[in-house]
Amino acid sequence: NAGVTQTPKFQVLKTGQSMTLQCAQDMNHEYMSWYRQDPGMGLRLIHYSVGAGITDQGEVPNGYNVSRSTTEDFPLRLLSAAPSQTSVYFCASSYRLGSGQPQHFGDGTRLSIL
Amino acid sequence: AQKITQTQPGMFVQEKEAVTLDCTYDTSDPSYGLFWYKQPSSGEMIFLIYQGSYDQQNATEGRYSLNFQKARKSANLVISASQLGDSAMYFCAMKASGSRLTFGEGTQLTVNP
């Protein structure tokens, strides 16, 4: 009963490096999303997907790419890391969004950009 | 545009007392849903309770209840009989039109023994 699995849990990058944050869910959920959480703030939506092959931008998409080739996986790519992207990143999934369907969250990835 | 406002950055409550965490929202959509999540210091996000805009009754889940006042656009979380383990950050969130969930900035609740 894994739920939503995010890897890695911690990562330190240098400015300009690229990396991919992995997210996988085993609940056959249609909806998946990525958020970032900065200190003292709520979660802000980066990108989301309503199904395999379908993605869209959220509130703060700049500097990030996503793809959804399978129902299970929704990786988040940082193209050229910047210190402003230092944050905690959460992946979430739900069968659908709304209608009482809560999002299930991963444990988060703590990312530091030097 | 959708907006969630949580005006209490921090709240304190004595163990075994009830506490209300405020949440107001703004949307022009007639159909929407409101969620509350708990984030303990360990960092995970835990779903607590949901209220749909067309629900006739206020939602309840164990010690959690939602005081939904549609005309005032408020969806306050009430925690009864507070426990030390309730100390955490609490987030209100809304899903209106489209496929986005909008979060408030959160309220840090501290339960004192």
- Look at B103 and A56 and tell me if their CB atoms are within 8 Å: no
By Cβ distance, the residue of B44, B95, B103 closest to A43 is: B103
Shortest Cα–Cα distance, B46 to chain A (Å): 8
Contact A46, A35 (CB under 8 A): yes
Contact A60, B103 (CB under 8 A): no
Contacts of B42 (CB under 8 A, 6+ apart): none
Contacts of B2 (CB under 8 A, 6+ apart): B25, B26, B27, B94, B96, B100, B102
Residue A36's CB is within 10 A of a number of other CB atoms, namely 23
Please state whether beta strands B10-14 and B107-112 pair in parallel, antiparallel, or not at all (unpaired). Answer: parallel
Q: Give, for all 113 residues of chain B, the pLDDT tens digit.
A: 789 999 999 999 999 999 999 999 999 888 899 999 999 999 999 999 999 999 989 999 999 999 999 999 999 999 999 999 999 999 999 988 777 889 999 999 999 99
Q: What is the C-alpha separation between B77 and B91, in angstroms, rounded?
A: 10
Contacts of A99 (CB under 8 A, 6+ apart): B33, B52
- Look at B45 and A105 and tell me if their CB atoms are within 8 Å: yes
- Look at A50 and B43 and tell me if their CB atoms are within 8 Å: no
Mean pLDDT of A82-100: 89
Contact A16, A95 (CB under 8 A): no
- Look at A43 and B91 and tell me if their CB atoms are within 8 Å: yes
Mean pLDDT over each residue of chain A, to the nearest integer: 93
Contacts of B45 in chain A (CB under 8 A): 43, 90, 92, 103, 105
By Cβ distance, the residue of B33, B105, B106 closest to A98 is: B33
Q: What is the C-alpha separation between B3 and B97, in angstroms, rounded?
A: 12
Mean pLDDT of A52-56: 95
